[in-house]
Amino acid sequence: MQKVIEGKAYVLGNNIDTDQIIPAERLVYSLSDPEEKKNYGRYALSGVPAPAAGLPDGNHAFVKEGDRRSEYAIIVGGKNFGCGSSREHAPACLQIAGIQAVIAESYARIFYRNSVDGGFFIPLETTTPLIDEIRTGDRLSVDIGAGTVTNVSAKRQYPLKPLGDVLEILEAGTIFEYAKKAGMLPKDS
């Protein structure tokens, strides 16, 4: 697991649901087929209607037409990020699109657990409403050890909530790798 994540921010609003993250009609590709799996990156955040409260300033496309990966590495969201259905495809598609971290004020519980358990990206929380402080395209530096996010573009730093017990799962890679490492599962399973 990276201790420092750097990249451009993509800012969304409150209540971004799993249908906005990956629309149900796009759930036709196999996550176990390497070629088909790439399509999830192509359609990541394609369900956010334009214009909508959840879209970033200027209506920047998350994934440019014809691409399968985003130029953004960090999503900044508001409250209740990942609400809606419990589909594991939602955090998976963000990872496939190149997201390394999501920073939000709060998460829907199942989305948060799916993100951690699958090792898709680091779900970070903040008490600061960063959607009012950071703009799409700003360069960010997230220091996991220090528990901070720095808006390099605006030269401002904000605290993050500690990851707590989920840090060990994230460091292991997935919940299954963590369980093997902790002796909860046989190492050869």
Residues linked to residue 107 through DSSP beta bridges, in sequence order: 81
Instruction: Count CA atoms closer than 13 A to 1's CA, side-chain side.
Output: 22
Measured CA to CA in angstroms, residue 27 lies from 15, 40, 126 at distances of 21, 8, 31
Q: What SS3 class is residue 181?
A: helix
Query: pLDDT tens, 38-56?
Result: 999 999 998 766 544 455 5
- Cα–chain center distance at 19: 15
Contact present, 31 and 96 (Cβ < 8 Å): no
Using the structure block, give the residue that is written with the tokens 């249908």: 19
CATH number corresponding to 4-161? 3.20.19.10
Query: pLDDT tens, 148-181?
Result: 999 999 999 999 999 998 999 999 999 989 999 8
- For residues 135 and 44, give the distance between their C-alpha atoms in angstroms, rounded to a whole number: 19
Would strands 4-11 and 148-151 be described as parallel, antiparallel, or unpaired? Answer: unpaired
Read off the pTM.
0.91
